[in-house]
Structure 1
Amino acid sequence: MRYEILGRLRVSDGPRAATIGAQKVETLFAVLLSRPNQIISASQLMDEIWGEHIPGRAAAGIHVYTSQVRKFLTRFRGAEAPIVTISPGYVFDPQDDELDYQLFERLTRLGSKHAREKRHRQAIAHFEEALALWRGPVLIGLGLGPILSGFAVRLTESRMECTEALIESCLTLGRHREVIGRLYSLTVENPLREAFYRQLMLALYRSDRQADALKVYQTARLTLKEELGLEPCRALQDLQRAILSADYQAGRFRAS
């Protein structure tokens, strides 16, 4: 059985997949999933579900929501649900079941290991398998309190790093043209992430599209100036200078 939070929260078992539907119950379940084998106090759960507007019967509500999660999980596991009551709260014990974000992290680590060892085809396979686990933003549809918001930020950053590493391995293997379309989309979706601009410039330049590569630099520079008041990072500036220098040298060679 797999607990899936890389998208809408759901539980799957082979071809079967089910969601809870009630937002407060899903939020409680998501907090427990985000910290397996750790005690989550009732007060932490209240903060996550209600924020600063905790109702008078919140403790009773936490008890009811936990019971509803347990009832939901018995559809997959039978009589025993993997949520244990331990003062001052609850512990989620996945036992032999799988959490999709932990699988994502394992696959990303394997991909990074292969990349460091210059086995880029294997690295690409692991990175692609890791990214295929994502069905949308982390815990889409839930309001994120202090625990879940930090959790979502961490996983979203890991997703971006995995994507960067995948493209870097593709570039190392000379698959420049294959990644250009994807990188254009990534720069639009993540306009302040300079790594994607650098990779796009490199892919375009190596595909004999020097002018387009320089246009990407100007787009990045304008965006960073308008949004942050900053110049592009050193890596982007160095790449722009390298492209300009290479074009100048090539022009001199052709002229002679």
Structure 2
Amino acid sequence: MEFGILGSVQVCDARTGQRIVPVGAKQRALLGALVAKAGQVVPCERLVDELWGEHPPANAANALHAHVARLRRLLPVPAPGPGTRRHEGLVTRPTGYVLRLGGTDTDARRFTRLAAEGRALLAADPARSARLLREALALWRGAALQGSGRGAICSAEAALLEESRLVALEALYDACLRAGHGREITGELEELTIAHPLRERFYELLMTALQRCGRQAEALLTYERARRTLVHDLGIQPGPTLRHRMQAILHHHDPDGSLDLDGPGPHPGPGGSLGLPVRPEPATGPAGGVPGRAPGDDSDVTLLREEIAWLRRRVERLAQEQQDLLGRLDRLMLREASGLT
């Protein structure tokens, strides 16, 4: 038997193949809270709050007991665990109730095990890492604890599981990049940056995938999209990882060392292959510093500001040329349509 909370709350009986879904939000909230705290005694007060929030019934203890009794009748009796003669799944304790898993499992625990195994293989075997992570993510049927209300226990568990899912997704696409499958994942990463616009790691992975496909201009536009979103929504600039990736793209270098972008490829020629200005390299003094600036001054900050200003001009120029090209295409299509008519 397996309890499922990676989606709507349900119980799968492996002996019969039957899937049991509690009817009613309170039954789902009760089962979801008990599964989330499996093996722990959940106090009655917390369960009352989970089911009714700030408006409990007059006799909340009796109402809770009635829901527990109905849930017991709904659930199949799990097999005894190792070394035990009898196993009762939902047990009453003096202060509350506890769901004892015994020989059963939960899809959330299976997901956690598979995701951890996949992340552990990320560097050594990225192809197998990606397979394990996809297997883990395939266990999700929807939002965690979907339809279980907004009680404190279910809400907190759903948030933790969702964060674990996003971390597993980040590891999956990292593994795909390490395995050389950047072209296959750009579309999925585009969707993830739209679905999670404040998660910088998805932008960084997308920029890396685009860079390794030779689509540096699109990678730079992705950075600018991330920067504008972060500034608009959070009032912050992109973090160091995203900035380092942007710098790597500007210098045609892969900081992971897995791809040499200095050889033949879609690099801008004199004046820029897309009509963009070539970035001037800062002059250096005898020791590699900037002439006229003493060590320890604000030269690094100044250079960074110049770099950002140059990047903005470059991206704006590219965006304008893209709009011009689209306008020309529209005009050509209109002329062709007019000729046909």
Classify the TM-score, shorter chain: over 0.9
Counterpart Cα distance in 2 of 1:74 and 1:147: 24
Q: Deviations over 1:79-132 (max 9, x none)?
A: 97500001101110011111000000010111112124x111221111011000
Give the structure 2 partner of residue 91 of structure 1: 98
TM-score of the pair, normalised by structure 2: 0.70
Per-residue deviation, 1:74 = 3.2
Contact 1:187–1:193 (8 Å) recurs in 2: yes
3-state SS of 2:122 partner? helix
- Partners of 1:185 and 1:231 lie apart in 2 by 22
Q: Is 1:155 the counterpart of 2:164 in the alignment?
A: no
Q: Pairwise CA RMSD of aligned residues?
A: 2.1
Q: Cα distance, 1:175 vs. partner?
A: 0.5
Aligned counterpart for 2:197 among listed residues 171, 191, 202: 191
**How many aligned positions are there?**
253
Q: Distance in 1 between matches of 2:9 and 2:96?
A: 22
Q: Please give the residue correspondences for 1:49-68 in structure 2 after superposition, counting only pairs within 5 Å.
A: 49-68=51-70
| Aligned residue in 1 for 2:172 | 166
* Correspondence for 1:200: 206
Q: Deviations over 1:9-32 (max 9, x none)?
A: 111124321201211111111111
User: Quick one: which of 19, 28, 33 aligns to 1:26?
Assistant: 28
- The CA deviation at 1:8 is 0.7
Amino acid at match of 1:146: A
**SS of match in other structure, 1:168:** helix
Aligned-partner SS, 1:115: coil
Corresponding residue for 2:4? 4
Q: Based on CA coordinates, which of the two structures has the bigger radius of gyration?
A: 2
Native 8 Å contact 2:78 2:87 kept in 1: no
Q: Which runs of 5+ in 1 are unaligned?
A: none
Percent sequence identity over aligned pairs: 36
What is the alpha-carbon distance in structure 2 between the residues aligned to residue 245 and residue 121 of structure 1? Answer: 29
User: Are the structure 2 counterparts of residues 71 and 11 from structure 1 closer, same or farther at C-alpha, using a change threshold of 3 Å?
Assistant: same
Q: Which runs of 4+ in 1 moved over 4 A?
A: 247-250, 252-255
Given that 2:89 and 2:100 are in contact with CA atoms closer than 8 Å, whether structure 1 keeps it comes out as: yes
Matches within 5 A, 1:67-146: 67-74=69-76, 81-116=88-123, 118-146=124-152
Q: Distance in 1 between matches of 2:46 and 2:141?
A: 27
Higher relative contact order (CA closer than 8 Å, sequence separation 6+): 1
